[in-house]
Amino acid sequence: MYPYAIIGDIGLYEIFLALGILTAFIVYRFTADKLHMSARLFNFTLICAVCAITVGIFSSIFVQALYNIEERGAFIIDKETGATFAGGLIGGAAAFLAIYFIFGKKADKAYISKTSLIADCAACAIPAAHALGRIGCLMAGCCYGHKTDSFIGIYMQNLGYKVVPTQLFEAIFLAALAVFNIIFLIKHKKYTMCIYLASYGVWRFFIEFIRADDRGTSFLPFLTPSQIIAVLFVIGSVVLFLIQRCVYAKRAAQND
């Protein structure tokens, strides 16, 4: 909607990304406090998160460059490359877990048993940040839907016509998911990462059908790379749920 720089090279896209990251830290702090996470563990996971965000930025660009190979004819990273959320999330999560499991014992001797707690708090922060990021996409004119003359269409300056505002739809969905997860976590203190992975996986799979920007190609010609990742998210949510359920059942038996 407004893909122009405001201050130097900074536009609304970068501003909303920054607001998203800030919101993620606020939500994570709020949920961590509600679940009585120790200050030492919180501070350590905050360091892990900063490192993960840094790695995630690079991995999001790297994966997008892979998506762009068919369109651009080569693996190219420049100002036109762009970024993809799934690539950033996977790279960032991998970096977070690597740092956490290598150095976590120094922060908390029971760090392994606290993994679910941290993941569930993160499941509230991630969609909150992503929702604002999608507003940034709307402002930048990327991640758009099919051309339309419908009343729901939004005019894109960079395209010169109205499109289905998939960015806005996703922002609303993610904001609602973040609110739901926060409430659910405070009440039940578990399973929000499973809810996030399953919910976003299903949402992303189906919204891909109305996206019109270049989606890249995969080894399955009828699915985009993001749809394959979405399927893996859903599978991962089921596996994680089964693992968490077993852990909680053992803890309940020990308490009895």
Per-residue pLDDT tens digits for 178-227: 999 999 999 999 999 999 999 999 999 999 999 998 877 777 888 998 99
Contact status, residue 24 vs residue 56, Cβ threshold 8 Å? no
The separation between CA 150 and the C-alpha centre of its own chain, rounded to angstroms, equals 29
Pairing of strands 154-156, 161-163: antiparallel
Overall average pLDDT of the 125-139 stretch: 96
Contact status, residue 141 vs residue 3, Cβ threshold 8 Å? yes
Per-residue pLDDT tens digits for 87-126: 899 999 999 999 999 999 988 888 888 999 999 999 999 9
Overall average pLDDT of the 137-144 stretch: 92
| pLDDT on residue 175 | 98
**Given CA atoms 215, 122, 127, 4 in this order, what sign does their dihedral have?**
negative
| pLDDT on residue 239 | 96
Q: How confident is the model at residue 240 (pLDDT cuts 50, 70, 90)?
A: very high
pLDDT reading at 256 higher than 70: no
Q: How confident is the model at residue 37 (pLDDT cuts 50, 70, 90)?
A: very high
The residues near 143 (Cβ < 8 Å, ≥ 6 apart) are: 134, 137, 166, 167, 170, 211, 213
Q: Is the pTM of this model over 0.75?
A: yes
